[in-house]
Amino acid sequence: MPLIKNGAVIADPFTMLADDQPLPAEGGAIVSLTRFRKDRETLLARNAPLGVRLNADESPEELGDDVHRLSVVVIVFPKFRDGRGFSWARMLRTRLNFTGEVRAGGDFLYDQISYLLRTGFDALDSNFTLEDLNRARSEMSAVYQPSADGKKTIRDLRSGK
């Protein structure tokens, strides 16, 4: 699937690996948390960017300090109504101070794009167009809550901040 990142549709530079799939000779790879735990030494020793894919019931805290050695964390939405991913992304950004790519994967709707961007996702694994993305983020121009995107809130605007 194409990837929307930094306002552009790009080809995914990472290989998404199933647990039984061999590591590619070179280039970035994304593995499940299970595989990361099993092959941690090998994966981290590899001279290429690494990503871990988290299921909705896997907190980013389970990565421990290793999170900072990753280039990508993919958070998979099993079903669009499962909103745990919003908290995981926010946690990656505001608690773990993760500065790499936080990518949304799995099942999410156009109507959730603005929430994804607000809670700290910066890449969407999806078929949405840039036009979709821009429209989705402009539907509600102002927000009431601070979140991981650092956007000014309505209270900030009221007090002229």
Partner 1 sequence: MYRYDEFDAKFVAERVEQFRGQVQRRLKGELNEDQFKLLRLMNGLYLQLHAYMLRVAVPYGTLAARQLRKLAHIARKYDRGYGHFTTRQNIQFNWPKLVDVPDILAELASVEMHCIQTSGNCIRNVTADHFAGATADEIEDPRPIAEIIRQWSSLHPEFVYLPRKFKIAVSASTHDRAALRFHDMALEIIKNETGETGYRVLVGGGMGRTPYIGYVVGDFVAKPDILAFLESVMRVYNQSGRRDNLFKSRIKILANALGPEEMRRQVMREFMEIKQKGTLELPVEELKRIDAYFAPPKFEALPDEMPKAGKDFENWVKTNVHAHRAPGYAIATISLKPIGGVPGDCSAEQMDALANLMDAFGMDEIRVSHEQNLVLPHVKKRDLPAIFAKLSELGLATPNAGLITDIIACPGLDYCDLANARSIPIAQDIAKRFADLDRQHEIGELKIKISGCINACGHHHAGHIGILGVDKKGVEYYQLQLGGSGAEDASIGDIMGPGFGEHEIGPAVERVVKAYLTLRQDGERFLDTYRRVGMEPFKNMAYLDQLYAAH
Q: Please give the Cα distance from 43 to 49 (Å, whole number).
A: 9
Residue closer to partner 1, measured from CB, 41 or 57: 57
| Placement of tokens 């999806």 in the chain | 126
Comparison of 39 and 82: residue with beta carbon closer to partner 1: 82
Tokens of 154: 């309505």
Tokens of 30: 């994304």
Q: Which is nearer to partner 1, 31 or 124 (CB)?
A: 124
Nearest distance, CB of residue 153 and partner 1, angstroms:
9
Cβ pair 103, 120 in contact under 8 A: no
Residues in the chain: 161
What 3-state class would DSSP assign to 74?
strand
d(CA 92, CA 121): 10
Q: Which is nearer to partner 1, 47 or 79 (CB)?
A: 79
Q: What is the smallest separation between the CB atom of 3 and partner 1, expressed in angstroms?
A: 21
Minimum CB–partner distance for residue 12 and partner 1 (Å) = 25
In the complex, minimum distance from the CB of residue 135 to partner 1, in angstroms, rounded to a whole number:
9
Residues that bind partner 1 (CB under 8 A): 56, 59, 80-84, 86-88, 90, 94-95, 109, 111-112, 114-115, 118-119, 139-147, 154-155, 157-159
Chain center to CA of 14: 14
